[in-house]
Structure 1
Amino acid sequence: MITRFAFAALLLLAQPALAQSIVDGPRARPVAAQDGTTQRAVEAVLAEAPKGTRFGLLVVDLQGRVIVSVNPDMRFVPASNTKLFTTAAALALLPRAEWPDAEGGAQVFLMPGTTGKPKDVVLYGRGDARLSSAADCKVDCLAVLADAVAAKTRVVGDVIGDDSYFPDQRWSAGMSWNNIGDYNATAASALSLDANELPVRVIADPAGGPPLIAAPPYLIVRNEALTVTAGAPTTLQLEHRVNSREFRLYGTIAVGAPEWRARVGIDDPADYAATVFARMLRERGVKVLGTVQVRHQPVMGKDLQPAVAAGQAVAVAEWGAPIAAVTPPPLAELIPLINKPSQNHHAELLLRRIGRVNGGSGSVEDGLAAERALFIRAGVPAEGFDLFDGSGMSSYNRASPRAMIALLRWGIRQPWGTAWLASFPVAGRDGTLTKRFAGTPLEGRIQAKTGTLNATNALSGTMTTASGRRLFFAFFANDVPDGASAVPIMEKVLEVVAAAN
C-alpha cells in the first residue's frame, strides 16, 4: 500500500535540493511590508516591458508579509496556473488518492446481443487518463482487457465504447476554436486511450511531389501540401474538421528539410478506444461480426444530470460483473504528470472526477462547483477567481495574484502539501522550467507552475532568495503585444526580488 507520506517522500527524494520544510503562519491576509526598496526596483524593471502589457504580482514571505505588490487584486487570465486549483482540489477531495485507482480503471463486459447473435463487447471507461495501447505497456494496459475477452469467447458482435460515466462534454467553455484538434486541447472523455492524441509525420518528397504522410490509420489526412525547392521555409499546417477524424494538411516543405512532426487530438475518444480494442480482438483471433459503436451520456440540465448518472449506474449493474478490469496507479502519482509538463488532458479528466465523486454527474460544472466551495472554505477570496475548465486552456478563466497566493499558502499546509509542491516544475531542472533560469542564481531555487496562452504568461510558486529566505509569489502578464514575450521581464523581476532578499 502506498501511503500519502510514502508518496511525498518519493517525490522529495527525487528533488533533495528543494526538500526543505515550509512552516507557514496563521491563515491571515498578507500585510504590507515596511521596506519599499524591492518594490521600487521591481517597478523599474516592469517599466521596460512591452507597452500595453498588464502585470499582476504578489510576493509574500512565509508569514504572509508583503514583499512586492503590483495589482494584487486585479483579475488575470491564469493559463495553466489553473492546474494548481485542479490538482489541489483533487488531492483534497478525491478519496484514497494515494491508493491504486480501482474506482477509475476501465472495465470490459460481455452483453447479450440481439436474438440469435453473439454477445457484444462493452469497453467501459471511468475517467482514467492513463489507459494505454502501447506495445511496451506495463501498467494500465488495454491489452489486459483484450486478453480477457479472447480467453472467454472467439466470436463477438458489436464492440461498444461507453464513456457515459461522465456527460458528453468534450471541451470546456472559453477554449479557442483553433486549439480544438491540437494535442493541447484534445477532447475529454471517461473512456480515453493513449492520452487521446496521435502522431503525424510529414516527409518531403525528393522528387518534388506531394510530401509523404505517416499517420495512424484512424486519422484521415487530406494532403494538399507541396514539396518545394531546397532551402525554402517549412510552412506546413494541419487544419482540423471539428468532431471528425479528418485533418487537412497544407503549406510547403522543402526538399532536404527535416521531417515535420505534429501531435493531434482525437474528437471522440470512446470511438478511438473501441476501434483500437476491436483491432486488438481480431489480432487475438476473435471474430468481430458487428461494428464499432459508442455510447455517450447526454448533456442535460443541472437538476437532471444526477438522475441520468444514477440511471446509468443501474444500467451498468444490470450488465453483471465485468469479465476484467484494469487498476491504474494512484491518482496522487498523476499530479506530477500534470504539473511538471503541464498536461492538459489529464487535468480535464481530474476536474470531471472531482465532480463525479462529490455527488454530481461528472460534468464540468459539477467539478467547478466542488472546487469553488472548497477554496472559499479554505480562505481563497471568492472575488479573486472564476474558473471554467481544469487545464487553463479556457480564456474565460480569471485569477488574481492574491487569490493564487491564498491557494498556495493553504495548500502547503495540508497533509498532502509537500507532495503537491514537489509536483511543480523546478527552475533549470525539469518540466516546463527545464530551460528557464538555467545558469542564473535562481536555477534550482524556484519551484513554480508555468502558464502560457495567447498574450498571456504566468508563473506561481515558491522561491529561495539569496539570503536563504523562502517566499511565495504569483506573477501574471496579460495583453502581451503580438510578437512580444513577457517572460524575460518576469524572470528579471524574480531575480531582482531574490537578490534583494
Structure 2
Amino acid sequence: MLAGAVAGPAATDDAAEAGTAIRAMLAAVPNTRFGLVVTDAAGVERIAIAPDDRFVPASNTKILTTAAAYATLPMTDHDRAATGIRIEGRNVVLHGAGDARLSGARDCVVDCLATLADAVARRTRVVADVIGDDSLFPDQRWSPGMGWNNIPTRSGTGVSALTVDDNELVLTVSRAPGGGVRVDGPDYYRIDNRIDNRIASGSRTAIAYDRMPGSDRLRLWGSIGPAPEQIRVGIDDPAHFAAWTLARLLRERGVRVTGTVGTRHRPYRSTDDGAVVARPSAPPMLATTQPAPLSDDVAITNKRSQNLHAELLLRRAGAVAGTGSIADGVRQVATMMAAAGVPRTAWDVSDGSGMSTYNRITPRAMVRLLQWIDRQPWGTAWHATLPVAGVDGTLARRFRGTALAGKLSAKTGSLSGTSALAGTMRAASGQVLTFAFYANDIPEGVSATPAMDAALLAVAARF
C-alpha cells in the first residue's frame, strides 16, 4: 500500500493515542518545532505530527542527493569521473572530472595522484607550469545559503571538479621540545601560530583557527596539552591545491618544475542553468586514475555525512544533461521527486550536502521519497549506504543498548538549531516502519536528540 493509505478505525485510534503520547514526550524540549511522520509496512500513516510543515533538513538533504545520483548516473559512471593528466607543451595539466576520492597521500593504494605523477616522471624530467583544470563544472565553490563561517572548515571546504584529499589540509599541533608549539603538515598555508603550551593542570586542549576567504594566512590560537592535536582546514581553491600537491609529488620523483602552479576555472554564468549540452570530448590523456564505484562513494556520503562528496554527486548528476551547475543538479532532484509523487511545494534544495539553510522539506514528502526509493531496482543497494543505529557512521553512538540497536537505518542531520533523522526501523512486531523526524528552532544550549530517540523507541515498541 502506498503512502497516504487509509487506516481502519482500530489503527486510527491507536495512531491517535500514539501521537498524543509522542507529543507529550517532545513537549519536554522547550520552544522547538517538531515534525514526524511514521508509516507501517503497508504504507499506512501511524504517526503524523506537522506532516506538511516545511523543515530545514540539514544533512537529510543527502538522501535526495544520493538517491538522485543512483537514479541518474549509470553504475559505470565512475569511469567518467577519472582524473587525467596530460602534457601540454612544456606544461603539465591535471584534469578533474568530479572524482571525490583522489588521494595525494604517500600511503595511497587506489585512486592515487601518485599514479599520474609517475606517468609524468616516466615521460620527462623537466616541466614548466603545473596547472589544475576544474573547468568541467562551473566555478561554484560554495552553495547559496551556506554560513560564511563554515568556509575555513572541512565542512565548508570549496567544491571543484578537481579534488584531492577531500580538499582538506591536515595539520598536527604538538608541544615542541624545549618549549613552544610546532605545527606539522603541508606548507600550503602561511601559519600564524599563537598557540600557548602553558596549559593549566587538568585543562583540556582547545585550539581554534580562522582564515579570511581567499587568504593563505591561517591563524591558530588556544592552548595545547601534552598530547598532539590534529586539525583539518578547508581549501578555497581545490584545483590550485591539487596542482600544488602534484608539483610536490613531481619534485619527489626528481622532476624539475621550472614554472608556477596555476589553475583553469570555468566562470559560472546564468546560462549554465538549464542549458542542455553535450559533454565535450576530453583531450587525450597521458594517464588516468581508476575511481571507486558509485556505491562506494554514496556509502561514504551517507554513513559519514561527507559534505564535499555530496556536492560533487549533485554536480555529476547535473552534468549528465547539463553543465554540472548546482541548478542542473537540482533539476535532476526535481525529476526524481516528481517521479516519487512528491508535490513541488513540499521541498526546496539549494545544495547537495544540506549545509544550506535555504533547504526545506516536509516529513510526509521525505517518507514518500523513501518509499519510492524502496521500489527502485537500486533501492536495496542505496539503503545499505545508510548509517546503522549503534553500529556505524553517524549513528554509531546512538541507540546503543536499546531495542533499536542494529535495527534502525537512517540518515542524520544537524545544523545550528536543527536536528533530523529519516529512514527505516524494525519495530517490536517485526514490521519495518518508515519515518522522517525533524526538529527546528532548537534553542541554544538545548539538544532535541534525546527526546527524538526516546520517541522513536516508543514508536517501535508500540507498533
**Fold equivalence (TM over 0.5):** yes
One-letter identity of the residue aligned with 1:220: R
What is the CA deviation profile of residues 399-422 of structure 1, one whole-angstrom value per residue up to 9, with x for unaligned ones?
110110011000011000001111
State TM-score, norm by structure 2.
0.94
Q: Distance in 1 between the 2:131 and 2:411 partners?
A: 39
Residue 103 (1) aligns with residue 85 (2): no
Contact 2:174–2:181 under 8 Å retained in 1: yes
Residues 1:366 and 1:304: Cα distance change in structure 2 (over 3 Å): closer
User: Do residues 37 (structure 1) and 17 (structure 2) align?
Assistant: yes
* Corresponding letter in the other structure for 2:187: P
Which of 219, 224, 227 is 1:258 aligned to?
227
Describe the shift of the 1:417–1:481 C-alpha distance in structure 2 as closer, same or farther (beyond 3 A): same
Partner of 2:306: 343
SS at match of 1:402: helix
Superposition pairs of residues 123-272 of structure 1, within 5 angstroms: 123-204=94-175, 210-231=180-201, 232-253=203-224, 256-272=225-241
Q: CA deviation at 1:341?
A: 1.0
* 2:293 alignment counterpart: 330
Show CA shifts across 1:326-371 (max 9, x none). 12121122111111111111001000001101x2111111111121
Q: Distance in 2 between matches of 1:485 and 1:210?
A: 38
Q: Distance in 2 between matches of 1:124 and 1:92?
A: 26
Give yes or no for contact 2:272–2:325 (8 Å, CA) kept in 1: no
| Counterpart amino acid of residue 190 in structure 2 | I
Q: For each residue in 1:222-277, what CA deviation from the matched residue of structure 2 results, as whole angstroms up to 9, or x when unmatched?
A: 11232334324544211122123321112233xx4433321111111111111111
Aligned CA distance change for structure 1 residues 182 and 406 (closer, same or farther; 3 Å)? same
Which has the larger displacement, 40-49 or 186-195?
40-49
Written as runs of structure 1 = structure 2, the 5 A alignment for 1:13-52 is 25=1, 27-31=2-6, 33-34=11-12, 35=14, 36-49=16-29, 51-52=30-31
Q: Which amino acid aligns with 2:286?
A: I
Mark the CA change 1:303 to 1:461 in structure 2 (over 3 Å): closer, same or farther. Answer: closer
| Partner residue in 1 for 2:37 | 58
- Partner in structure 1 of residue 375 of structure 2: 413
The residue correspondences of 1:107-118 to structure 2 (distance < 5 A) are: 107-112=84-89
What is the rounded CA distance, in whole Å, between the counterparts of 1:407 and 1:365 in structure 2? 20
Preserved CA contact (<8 Å) 1:82 1:391: yes
Match of 2:271 among 302, 306, 326: 302
Distance in 1, matches of 2:274 and 2:331, equals 14
Cα displacement string for residues 17-49 of structure 1 (whole angstroms, at most 9, x for unaligned residues): xxxxxxxx3x44354551222112211211212
Q: Take 1:206 and 1:109, find their aligned partners in 2: how far apart are those partners?
A: 45
Check conservation: 1:125, 1:163, Cα contact below 8 A. yes
Pairwise CA RMSD of aligned residues? Answer: 1.8
Find the partner of 1:313 among 270, 273, 280.
280
**8 A contact 1:81–1:392 mirrored in 2:** yes
Say whether residues 1:374 and 2:336 are aligned partners.
Answer: yes
Could you tell me whether the CA contact under 8 Å between 1:230 and 1:257 is conserved in 2?
A: no
- Secondary structure of the corresponding residue to residue 427 of structure 1: coil
Aligned residues: 457
Asked if structure 1 preserves the Cα contact closer than 8 Å seen for 2:34 and 2:438, the reply is yes
Amino acid at match of 2:440: N
CA distance in 1, matches of 2:421, 2:307: 17
Unmatched segments (≥5 aa) in structure 2? none
Distance in 1 of aligned mates of 2:175 and 2:213 = 27
> CA offsets, 1:151-190, max 9 Å, x none?
1122211111000001111010111111112111111100
**Residue of structure 1 equivalent to 2:418:** 456
1:404 is aligned to: 366
